[in-house]
Amino acid sequence: MAKILLEMKNITKTFPGVKALDNVNLKVEEGEIHALVGENGAGKSTLMNVLSGIYPYGTYEGDIIYDGETCKFGTIKDSEGKGIVIIHQELALVPEMTIGENMYLGNERGKKFKIDWDTTYVEADKYLKMVGLSESSKVLIKEIGTGKQQLVEIAKALAKNARLLILDEPTSSLNEEDSRALLDLMLGFKKQGMTMIIITHKLNEVSYVADKITVVRDGSTIETIDNANHDIDEDRIIKGMVGREITNRFPKRENVKIGEINMEVSGWTVQHPLYPERNVVNDVSMYVRKGEVVGIYGLMGAGRTELAMSIFGQSYGNLLSGVLKINGQEVRLKKSPTDAINHKIAYVTEDRKGNGLILSQSIKVNTSLANLDSISKNLVIDKDREYQVAEEYREKLKTKTPSVEQLVGNLSGGNQQKVLLAKWMFAEPEVLILDEPTRGIDVGAKYEIYCIINDLAAAGKSVIMISSELPEVLAMSDRIYIMNASRIVGEMKASEATQENIMAAILKSGRGD
């Protein structure tokens, strides 16, 4: 029988008004990959924050037994000292620093008051090689893509002598190819004896790498499933997560009525804000009709987000050329998101925590941010109206929260995404650009957001949906644009599109990284 490396017994954690964990139990064997799954808000990340010392001993009830010893971690440093290292969903890297500087930030090589840079970069290069990166550790973080940044985070963990590695949604920002490479890397570490806990909403990944799967629902442990043969039925996991069977992952579009062209861009070319010689969007032409859901798919670095942000009041890059028309009329948006909002264009960012929401403010405040004029009189906000609006959208979007006075930073990822959608829906846009709207969200919350998208289209809104999940693009779109290397390289009706011909369009155009 394998040795139990970690046991968490009867862990209970309470926040104001919310019991996030209720007597949760978890056992992890040495040398296994253990998946932790559940809906957003189920308590997965909270449990790992307890384990890693982010929530210190004394702020929760229960016991952590690691390698046969009862542990009372007061800080992250305490857990890392035992070889427990957590990699969060939001990468904690400084773009303007080198890979090596990032890897040893807070864990510097050398003597007191004097960093040994030679040792730093030699050791960093060694760990980069272990994770399959060929870049020099002297390269700046901002010069490598998201997939490679994820590998830097893993190399950083290895440099801390990780024995138990916790990965929270490690592939949420990666395309399918980079995701599979990361999962294979995990399997390689497992062969070397490392123990890992992975939190992910991508159930195909769970089936592929996990030896055991613990399901958490509403802050409680539901069951632990053996997946030694890596053939688990995804529907069984889903039933445990949501407490019911979900027979269809995507809602059907009913009474589809697609109208006239609402917004179009032509000859759209955008220059990188820091590197003038590089075009991040190159001669793109596209359109979206009223009542239509248009998907945009492409590999990492294709230029999808740059296109969306440049349309939204030139909030990224420098526009070199191009024409934007709304309802057939050319408009020239100033370099201002406010101007885009005034022209009824909304952009739901892929980075909800960094750019989409104010985490230190309430649901109520965040919901009204993009349309303060409608709840104000003589520049004074009507607090009662603000509360009423937030309540309406909380009910409409089924946001799980005890109150709209709750701080957004205390919500799960899925519920934060609903608040972000509410913010832009309240702005009453005619064109809604959704950038990775279901990233890091569980299967139940995804379904709810898909229903919201369909409702928006049914109401005559124009929806542009950018997604790295090809099944999602195929199921939700009426029409699909394929991007690669900053250009549109294909356009297909959803009825004609398949994974094979979309990937063929990318490969035939010459893949861009």
- Tell me the domain boundaries of the chain: 4-242, 261-344+429-509
The 10s digit of each residue's pLDDT in 199-234 is: 988 888 888 999 999 999 888 999 999 988 877 877
Instruction: List the structure tokens of 245.
Output: 């069977």
Instruction: List the structure tokens of 349.
Output: 């960012």
- Mean per-residue pLDDT, 67-79: 94
Instruction: List the structure tokens of 510.
Output: 């010459």
- Mean per-residue pLDDT, 11-37: 91
Q: What confidence score (pLDDT) does residue 510 get? A: 62
CATH of 4-242, one of 3.40.50.720, 3.30.70.260, 3.40.50.300, 3.90.25.10: 3.40.50.300
Which range of 16-25, 106-115, 285-294 scores highest in mean pLDDT? It is 285-294
Question: What gap in Å lies between CA 31 and CA 399, rounded to an integer?
Answer: 38
Grouping H, G, I as helix, E, B as strand and the rest as coil, residue 473 is helix
Q: How far does CA 437 lie from the centroid of its chain? A: 9
Q: Which one is predicted more confidently, 149 or 283?
A: 283
Question: What gap in Å lies between CA 503 and CA 297, rounded to an integer?
Answer: 10
Q: Which band of pLDDT confidence, cut at 50, 70 and 90, is reported for residue 236? A: confident
Counting residues of the chain whose pLDDT is more than 70, the rounded percentage is: 97
Instruction: List the structure tokens of 108.
Output: 């510097």
- C-alpha dihedral, 196 to 200 to 206 to 208, nearest 10°: -80
CATH of 261-344+429-509, one of 3.40.50.2300, 3.40.50.300, 3.30.930.10, 2.40.50.140: 3.40.50.300
Question: What gap in Å lies between CA 390 and CA 301, rounded to an integer?
Answer: 36
Residue 124's closest CA among 145, 97, 143?
97
- C-alpha dihedral, 197 to 200 to 205 to 211, nearest 10°: 30
* pLDDT of 494 over the 50 cut: yes
Q: In 22-58, which positions are buried (b, 16+ CB within 10 angstroms) versus exposed (e)?
A: eebebebeebbbbbbbbbbbbbbbbbbbbbbbbbbee
Amino acid identity at 306: E
231: burial class by Cβ within 10 Å (0-12, 13-18, 19+)? Answer: exposed
- Mean per-residue pLDDT, 275-297: 93
Identical fold, 4-242 and 261-344+429-509: yes
* pLDDT of 374 over the 70 cut: yes
